[in-house]
Amino acid sequence: MTKSDFLVIGSGIAGLSFALKAADYGSVVIITKKTDSESSTNYAQGGIACALGDDDSKEHHIADTLSAGDGLCREDVVTAVVNEGPDMIRQLVEWGCRFTKKENGGFSLGREGGHSRNRIIHTDDLTGREIEGALLERVMEHPNITGLENHIAVDLLTEHNLGVITKPRAVSCFGAYALDEATGKVETYMSGTTILATGGVGQVYLHTTNPGIATGDGIAMAFRAGAKVGNLEFMQFHPTSFLLPDGTSFLISEAVRGYGGVLVSRSGQRLMENHPMKDLAPRDIVARTIDHYLKSSGEDRVYLDVTGFDSDATKKRFPHIYETCLKYNIDITKDPIPVVPSAHYMCGGVVTDLNGRTTISNLYAAGEVALTGLHGANRLASNSLLEAVVMAERAAKMVAEKRQLTSELPDIPDWNERGTFNPEEWVIISHDRNNIRNLMWDLVGIVRSDFRLRRAMNRIELIREEVGKYYRRTKLSHGLIELRNMAICAWLIVKSARHRKESRGLHYNTDYPERDDAVWRHDTFIQNEEILA
């Protein structure tokens, strides 16, 4: 058993920035299921949205965020995140983040879809990697922080582990069980405060820009523990990803369209001409436009064209994209980039307040795993990293004032694996994983219908039941833990999507093609398998 004042599950921008703040008040343990640099943050190309330009204002940024959120943003959260953003940018610079500057020393500000002004702070096209590296360097230097790689969280510790039945409002978190992959043993990590910073759930879809770790672990663990989750019908599909030969997707940043790139068909027809913002329309609109074109034309891709710009300027602005595409014989200065939409960002998650507190005592959440109310029904590009640092800061301030002492923690029993056996065939796990990803892509994707959602629910119910039985009798492995979480998250997404009888933001149902504010202008909450709103 390991005890700490703070337990951080995940090592992206939210988890690392919280750890650096919380370490001023006590001991911090970070557990991450891969290497400490493997996170969605590391994959983020575009940047951080912040109103710093001479022609920009916080009011403009707030208005753009509310517009993209399609009626479901919490205005108090939007206002707080936007207003506190500049201080967080200064903090990141102090921590060593080197953002791209102009010749006059000011930040180079890019433009992305849905933004009315240039406000994307970036480091070329590898902003996430720059932030991740700077934060990791500071974390590794801090004497109060212990980082544990290749430790995958299994379940949160609550009164349930003591054999005590409590009402949802009375549940408390005391830490987590985690599998140490080096030893194959499940260890107990007790903590006065636990924060989920586990990222998203893109891996439940066949095509995704997310890293392999994005299997919804935090959402699934919190839901099993009795936390309220919400708005899981709103999965954002990034309009432009380069589909690699191995079936994975490489993100082509929204900044490419902000730079002036246009979406065209194979014949060169421009696809976004009918929208007022053209190629800089919000992601949900662009993704649906591409999806409609692909299904109506029979084509399997569209193209993002930046060939009309100075080649040296393009290479300088997008060095990582240029080099990656060149490996596959695509020179973006001469050739249009073949792209398709891919699952990218979950706008729903574990419900929190404005200080990161979930509905479980002593359990916080920040980053993509959390539903704060900032994104509403559709995330405005590059608001995610901003939200992560602001909410991590707010959570750290809150726990400094209100936290459970380790001396008050109960005696949680060690993990018990009696009655389990070693799995003989990996194919059982890989088969169900592939089934989930395929059915979610085919039936619960960019465009949905009642028929597709019913079919998806019938299938995911069977998979979830099968995985649950297999889990209970089998010795734990990394793959099995992820599969269990993916099955639960897929089920939650489908259940949420079936409940919402309208089209709004990222949820488009052909049986209810219009937005219905009179009935559906509210969040979708699920707790203990029941729809609450």
* Overall domain count for the chain: 3
CATH of residue 498's domain is 1.20.58.100
Asked whether residue 247 carries a pLDDT value surpassing 90, the answer given is no
- Just list the catalytic residues: 283
Both 224 and 245 in a single domain?
A: no
Alpha helices in 23-74 (DSSP H): 40-43, 58-68
Mean pLDDT (the chain) is 92
Is there a domain that residue 522 lies in? Answer: no
Both 264 and 205 in a single domain?
A: no
Asked whether residue 59 carries a pLDDT value surpassing 80, the answer given is yes
Both 251 and 223 in a single domain?
A: no
Predicted model pTM? 0.92
Strands (E), 290-336: 302-305
CATH of residue 381's domain is 3.50.50.60
CA 82 to chain centre: 19
Quote the domain boundaries for residue 248. 239-342
Both 243 and 390 in a single domain?
A: no
Sign of CA dihedral 197, 198, 202, 208: positive
Which two structure tokens, joined as six digits, stand for 522?
A: 């509210």
Both 45 and 194 in a single domain?
A: yes
pLDDT score, position 531? 86
Is there a domain that residue 198 lies in? Answer: yes
The band of 430, judged by pLDDT with boundaries at 50, 70 and 90, is: confident
Is there a domain that residue 17 lies in? Answer: yes
Looking at the chain, how many residues does it have?
533
Query: Tens digits of per-residue pLDDT, 112-126?
Result: 888 999 999 998 777
Among left, alpha and beta (phi > 0; psi -120 to 50; other), residue 105 is: left
Both 162 and 302 in a single domain?
A: no
Sign of CA dihedral 86, 88, 91, 95: negative
pLDDT score, position 151? 96
Is there a domain that residue 420 lies in? Answer: no
Helix, coil or strand: residue 233: coil
Both 492 and 354 in a single domain?
A: no
Both 325 and 366 in a single domain?
A: no
Both 100 and 202 in a single domain?
A: yes
pLDDT score, position 40? 56
The band of 408, judged by pLDDT with boundaries at 50, 70 and 90, is: confident
Both 338 and 352 in a single domain?
A: no
Domain boundary among 342, 371, 392: 342
Helix, coil or strand: residue 531: strand
Q: How many other C-beta atoms lie within 10 A of the C-beta of residue 259?
A: 18
Is there a domain that residue 162 lies in? Answer: yes
pLDDT (average), residues 96-107:
90
Both 130 and 50 in a single domain?
A: yes
Is there a domain that residue 309 lies in? Answer: yes
CATH of residue 271's domain is 3.90.700.10
Is there a domain that residue 167 lies in? Answer: yes
Both 98 and 225 in a single domain?
A: yes
Q: Can you tell me the distance from the alpha carbon of 233 to that of 495, in angstroms, rounded to the nearest whole number?
A: 8
